[in-house]
Amino acid sequence: MSVSTRGLTGRIPLAMVGIRPARLFDIPEVMRIERASFREQYPRGIFLTFLENNPDTFLVAEYNGRIIGYVMGYLRPDLEGHIMSIAVDPEYRGNGIGSALLREVIERLINRGARYIGLEVRVSNEKAIKLYERFGFRKVKRVIGYYSDGEDAYYMILPADEWRGN
Ligand SMILES: CC(C)(COP(=O)(O)OP(=O)(O)OC[C@H]1O[C@@H](n2cnc3c(N)ncnc32)[C@H](O)[C@@H]1OP(=O)(O)O)[C@@H](O)C(=O)NCCC(=O)NCCS
């Protein structure tokens, strides 16, 4: 008999997931999710500086008092709202949490004046690319060797006037 951990957490009601700005005490949990999600990690100082500079667009998803996802967005001087990172705890993926985080950060960046939203994604990351395309992002450029292991990135954008709040 096999015990599925997905079964324990698998389907959760999105109504019970809160999306809110990250606080200093969330950083260890954010870093736990980052470790479980990416091959390369940012040092702690990057999260702290990012939080200090972008307190409204560094968001976490909270469920039952536990941080289960985060997104880090910022507004560049050229008015690109850039998404630096997004990840959901592997145990909780496929529940709409990534979509909820993405929706909220896009809204906030556009409200702050972003003319478009931009991001880079590994060319092999089909799941994330599909999610972004569902939100209306388009691949506009392939960035050769963008990642430190040599993988290329797609640079994808979503113009603010095409954002329908989906
Ligand atoms: C990309 C990532 C953030 C998406 O997070 P997520 O919470 O799984 O995203 P969602 O649940 O909103 O959407 C994922 C899938 O679940 C489906 N889904 C959403 N809500 C659902 C629900 N209530 N019931 C069933 N399925 C649902 C979506 O349709 C989507 O399906 P698809 O992949 O076939 O299109 C997550 O996979 C992740 O953390 N990946 C590792 C880090 C990463 O690659 N980040 C992006 C770097 S650019």
pLDDT over threshold 60, residue 8: no
Evaluate: CB of 123 within 6 angstroms of ligand 1. Answer: no
Evaluate: CB of 94 within 6 angstroms of ligand 1. Answer: yes
Taking CA atoms only, the protein residue closest to ligand 1 atom 18 is 94
- Please, what is the average pLDDT of the chain? 93
Q: What is the CATH number of domain 15-162?
A: 3.40.630.30
Ligand 1: distance of its center to the CA of 55 in Å?
Answer: 24
pLDDT score of 2: 36
pLDDT over threshold 60, residue 97: yes
pLDDT over threshold 80, residue 70: yes
Taking CA atoms only, the protein residue closest to ligand 1 atom 30 is 94
pLDDT score of 66: 95
Q: Cα dist. 80→33, 36, 76, 84, 164 in Å?
A: 26, 28, 5, 12, 18
**Lowest-confidence pick of 6-10, 32-36, 69-73, 129-133:** 6-10
Instruction: Please state, for a pLDDT cut of 90, what percent of the chain lies above it.
Output: 89
Taking CA atoms only, the protein residue closest to ligand 1 atom 16 is 94
Mean pLDDT of 13-30: 96
Residue 89 in contact with residue 101, Cβ under 8 Å?
no
Ligand 1: distance of its center to the CA of 69 in Å?
Answer: 11
pLDDT score of 7: 44
pLDDT score of 9: 55
pLDDT over threshold 70, residue 3: no
pLDDT over threshold 50, residue 122: yes
CA angle 39-149-47, nearest 5°? 45
Evaluate: CB of 128 within 6 angstroms of ligand 1. Answer: yes
Query: What is the rounded CA–CA span in Å between residue 32 and residue 37?
Result: 9
Ligand 1: distance of its center to the CA of 94 in Å?
Answer: 5
pLDDT score of 10: 63
